[in-house]
Amino acid sequence: MGAYSLLEKIRPGPPSLRILVRVVPAALIVIVLFFLFASQKPREIIAISGRPPPVVPPPPRPSDALNASNATNTQNTQNTQKPQNTQNTKPTWQWSPEHDADNFGLSEEQCLIAFPKQYADLDKSVSLWAERRIKPEDLDARPVHTSLIRAMIYEGQLFIIEYGPQTQTQSRGPATLFALHRALTAFPDRHLLPNIEFVLTTEDYDKDEDPTAPIWAYTKQDEDDLVWMMPDFGYFSWPESKVGAYHEMRKRIMAVDEGGLGPDGNLTAPLPFHNKTPQIVWRGVTWTNEEIRGQLMEVTKDQSWADVQVIDWGDRDNPNSNLIPIEDHCRYMFAAQTEGKSYSGRAKYLLNCRSVTVSHPTLWREPHQSALVAEGPDANYVEVYSDWSDLPQKIQYFIDHPAEAERIANNSIATFRDRYLTNAAEACYWRQLIRKWGSVMDFQPAAFIVTSEGKLARRGDSYEDWALKGPRSE
């Protein structure tokens, strides 16, 4: 007998009561099941139903709402900006001749970016001395005599220790030291440069007949393992040749090619390449290298495409002299470059012109040597035979093909005037010479000496004191 039937028999009553008796137990069962499932953990509900319950986030706090609003505004602002390269956000410096040509204080990184080709000979010198090392006795093996100077750089400051007589090179010593000092003082981190001591010569080349020790010189041949090249004195000034200060000479040359203020104070119009004189120009003496220069004179004699003449240095102040200003060489389509006793001091000036520099194969190197290109689309000068025998054919070819000649002249401008022959390049080379020399030195230079009285005294004169006292032999 069912429970409901039993209740009906025990407590008979009206139909409504009987319905209530049936419904109440069922409702109680439903309520119990509801609370049973409601008390289970979400993971148990998921297991039962097969899908997760809807997630209802808690109401935000006021501070969270403010932060969310700011983040939204920032994101909207970023979306309006140009996309950025997240892989390399560090800006890369680029060389600009308009802004950097006269910057003597470029960083080491900038120097390496701007002038990668001018340090090849320094790297070679380092490799030759990496094991042997430079010792104090090496410098002592170069006693200071005519045209030699012993100096040191200590904590970024130049000191002159010994200054030999400069009988034939009066302006070269001061010009060289002035340029070195300038490269130091323009560099904010000069105190980080190594302390070094060195000997340099102001002669055309190292004239020691039996050298055994390293030396700084303006030029070298490939086999000169003892020579470390330094910039030519002309990068500061060369008054004896009437060239004057290097930076002023560059301005005069640019006034010819690009237009500007000339040496007479008047404005000049640009001189396009096709309007230049279609000749090769040269001025000089032959006795310094009769083989090379004498043969140039022979090949160009009475030729309509040549303006090649010997000058008399003793008569250079005569208005009727054959001497012409260096900037006027740039008015010609072609300029001859010849070695003399050693390297040619004029090469760096000619390569500043928007003209085609023509040269025989050279024996003597300069810091910009590795940037010279004789053939191909990047050619920036023309090379001829040592006896100049192919000069007539090459000059005539380029006169007949002026566009090819102008391409070479433009390459020369881009490579040399606007890069490797700038003041910035010279200063960079000086500091790299200091670093490389210091990397193979086997000692620290002594900043002080003990006097006969037993006291410490500064060794040498600071550059500033030396310059004010005036260059003199010790």
The domain ranges of the chain are 3-49, 99-236+441-469, 244-426
Please state, as a whole number, how many other Cβ atoms lie within 10 Å of the Cβ of residue 463.
20
Three-state SS across 419-449? Answer: HHCCHHHHHHHHHHHHHHHHHCECCCCCCEE
Q: Identity (one letter) of the amino acid at 109? A: E
Residue with tokens 């701007």: 114
User: Angle 426-211-343 (CA atoms, 0-180°, nearest 5)?
Assistant: 40
Which DSSP state fits 413? Answer: I
Three-class DSSP category at 401: coil
Checking DSSP bridges between strand 157-163 and strand 215-217, what pairing results, if any? unpaired
Query: Tell me, what's the pLDDT at 36?
Result: 46
C-alpha closest to that of 345 among 205, 221, 228: 205
Q: What is the pLDDT of residue 321?
A: 73
How do strand 356-359 and strand 448-450 relate by DSSP bridges?
A: unpaired
User: Considering the entire predicted model, what is its pTM?
Assistant: 0.80
H-run or E-run covering 46: helix 42-49
Predicted local confidence at residue 25, as pLDDT:
52
CB 419 within 8 A of CB 352: no
Distance CA 471, CA 333 (A): 41
- Tokens 């310059």 belong to which residue? 467
Q: How far apart are CA 201 and CA 63, in angstroms?
A: 75
Which residue's structure tokens are 């070679």? 124
Round to whole Å and give the CA distance between 312 and 398: 31
Q: 3-class DSSP state for residue 333? A: strand
Whose tokens are 């010819």? That residue is 256
pLDDT tens for the chain, 474 residues long, are 444 444 344 344 454 444 444 544 555 554 544 444 444 444 333 333 333 344 334 444 444 443 444 444 444 444 444 444 445 555 589 999 999 999 999 999 999 999 999 999 999 999 999 999 999 999 999 999 999 999 999 999 999 999 999 987 789 999 999 999 999 999 999 999 999 999 999 999 999 988 999 999 999 999 999 999 999 999 999 998 889 999 999 999 999 999 998 888 889 999 999 999 999 999 999 999 999 999 999 999 999 999 999 998 776 666 567 889 999 999 999 999 999 999 999 999 999 999 999 999 999 999 999 999 999 999 999 999 999 999 999 999 999 999 999 999 999 999 999 999 999 999 999 999 999 999 999 999 999 999 889 999 999 999 999 999 976 654
CA nearest to 345, candidates 290, 284, 263: 284
The Cα diameter of the chain in Å comes to 154
C-alpha distance across the termini of the chain, in Å: 139
- Rounded CA-CA distance 4/10 in Å is 10
User: Helices 172-185 and 423-439, interaxial angle, to 10°?
Assistant: 90
Q: How far is CA 214 from the centre of its chain?
A: 26
CATH number of 244-426: 3.40.50
Whether the CB-CB separation of 415 and 371 falls below 8 Å is answered with: yes
**Length in residues, the chain:** 474
